[in-house]
Every structure is written in C-alpha cells, then in structure tokens.
Amino acid sequence: MQRRLFLKNSLKTLGAGAAAGAAAPFISTASAQQTITWDMVTSWPKNFPALGTGANDFAARIERLSGGRMKVRVHGAGELVPAMEVFDAVGEGTAQMGHSASYYWRGKTLASQFFTAVPFGMNTTETNAWLYHGGGLELWDEVYAKHNLKPFPVGNTGTQMAGWFKKEINSLADMQGLKLRLPGLAGEAMNGIGVTTVNTPGSEIFTSLQTGVLDAADWVGPYNDLAFGLHQVAKYYYTSAWNEPSAILEGTVNLEAWNALPDDLKAVVSEAAMASNLAMISEFAVRNAEALDTLVSEHGVELRTFPEEVLEALYASSQEVLQKQVEADEESRKVYDSYTAFQQKVQRFTDVGEFAYLKTREKVGA
C-alpha cells in the first residue's frame, strides 16, 4: 500500500509538471519540462525477436512521440520480476508498464483469455476490428480496471502454428496422454481430449522437450520457434492453426500511473501502442515466411496437419470449455457475447472477400 501511494503521489507531481509546460500533443521538448521515466517488465527474454524487440519498439515510440518527455526502460523476463508475474507487478506498482499476453492471467481473471486468442475464433484483421471498432477495448478496460491496470493491444503474432511434436499424429488415439505446452482456452480444450497441458515459460520449452518433461509444445510460429531452436528437439511441425488464429500481445499500464499522466502523454502512449501493434503484425508476416523456408529447406522439418477427427474433437472440446466458462463467470459471458456476435458479423464478409480470394489464388496457382 505504501509503495502504491508513493507511486501515485510521485506520478501526480510529475504529470502536473509535464502538463504545465506542454504546448501541444506530440510537439514538445524535454528541456523545460521534467522527464517522466517508467519501467516496463515483460514476459520475454531480453531482446527476443519480435516479442522482446516489440516491447523495445513500443518504448522507443513513446520516447520519440513525446519529444523525450517520457522514457521507458524495458526489462526482460527475470530482470525485475519473473515472466509470469508481470500482471501483478504492474498492478501493484512495482513497475509502471508491462508487455505480455493476457491468457497467462486466467488465474487472476478468467475473462483475460479472450484478449489473446480464442480457439476457432477471429483472425488478426477481424480481432483488431473488434478491439478498435466493436467495443473490445472498452471491455478489456473494464475487466482490467479491477486489477489496477490499463490495457492496450501492442502487437499480434498473427496466425500461430499448432506446435512441435516428437511423434507424428495419425489419429485421436495418438493424442492420449501427451504432455503439451499450450496455455489459454486452447490448452483447456486439449485437456478435454486426453492431453495434459502446462503453461511453461517460453525460455524453458527447449529444455523441457529435450529432457522429456514435454512431448510437444506450442510456442508462436516459425520466426520465434527457429530462434529457440525447437526443430532440434522435435521433428514434426503442425500447421493446423486452430488454437490461436490471432494472438494479441498486451501492453499494460498501472492505472494510477496512467491517471496521473497529462492528456497529451496519454495520447502518446495510445498512439504508440497502435503503431507498435501494426508494426509487429507486419514484421511477423515476413519473418515467419523467411523462417519457415529455413526450417524446411535447411533443417528438414516435416510439416503436418492434424487428422480431421482430431480437429473435430478439438472443436467440440473448445465449445464445451467456452460454454462452461461463460456459465460460471459473468464477466467472461459479457466479453464472449461481444466477441462471438462480432465474429458472426464480420465473418460474412471475410468468407466472401479474403477467404474467397485465397481459394481463388490457390486454384489458379498464383
């Protein structure tokens, strides 16, 4: 409580000083104003490709757009707090900012999972439309305010892979008893078909596969998976992207720190978050393509898709998991109702627009 009160009073003082000298949003110099310095804790190894560097990019944009009035020091997982303690650290004021993924916090608030990925849910374009134009951000604010947090989408991996498996999956029976690293709602759905899932930090995946603690693991996609060398400890790479058709990375701000900012710096943080979101999506599109070619051409990775009976079982299990959660948690129901209604709305055009085009492109061999 003393730490939170100190943070609150200190930031109010800084905010007042910054506001007094501001001439206009985005146009200012640090010379006549007191610089605000924040710490950002993350769930990623320091400077890890796209995820860690995405946090760096967010911090750099804030400093650049604020004309140097606001600086953010980025800390990798374990430097200030462990990877899986970002949510609490920011909410309690240990750091003013965080960068992570919301589905890690299901033990804190079940509804958080909808703000990373929903099995068989919306793609990245559809998800961003929900957040920015369909009420998704407002719901996210509402859920996180109870934990003293202000959230933003700050990156997205796009469609993720289904993961690395040490053995080939030819039937539903082959899934039984596997130990799989897979967080969120998709992990619960896997549990429903006989798989044991765990939420292992990314930095521990390689060793866990190598030593047999895990039989299979989902991480992100080719770019990040290659960086961790997962192809060295598992042979089969599954492309059946049912689990995370879109995966949002979140930026969080301590709510008291946020409220202490002058309006122009709030705008800086908001615009920096949106720009960083787009930048990461674009980077993953090209880096995943390059890394996939390396994995297949240079390392002999074998691409596979799950058998139809496995995907059908996963869909049925996903629906059961979702229904069970929304029946037990009113906050989850509110978010899920908004999410599914928006998906039904935008999917009609996705099907006759983007999906129809992709099928046409494949058909003509373009």
**Residues within the annotated binding site?**
160, 181, 218-219, 244
Which residues line the annotated binding site for substrate? 160, 181, 218, 244
Distance CA 225, CA 202 (A): 10
The residue type found at 279 is A
**SS3 of 163, please?**
strand
Distance CA 152, CA 274 (A): 8
Distance CA 127, CA 131 (A): 6
Q: What is the DSSP string of 290-354?
A: HHHHHHHHTT--EEE---HHHHHHHHHHHHHHHHHHHHH-HHHHHHHHHHHHHHHHHHHHHHHTH
352: tokens are 């006759």
Distance CA 261, CA 269 (A): 10
DSSP 253: E
Which residues line the annotated binding site for Na(+)? 219
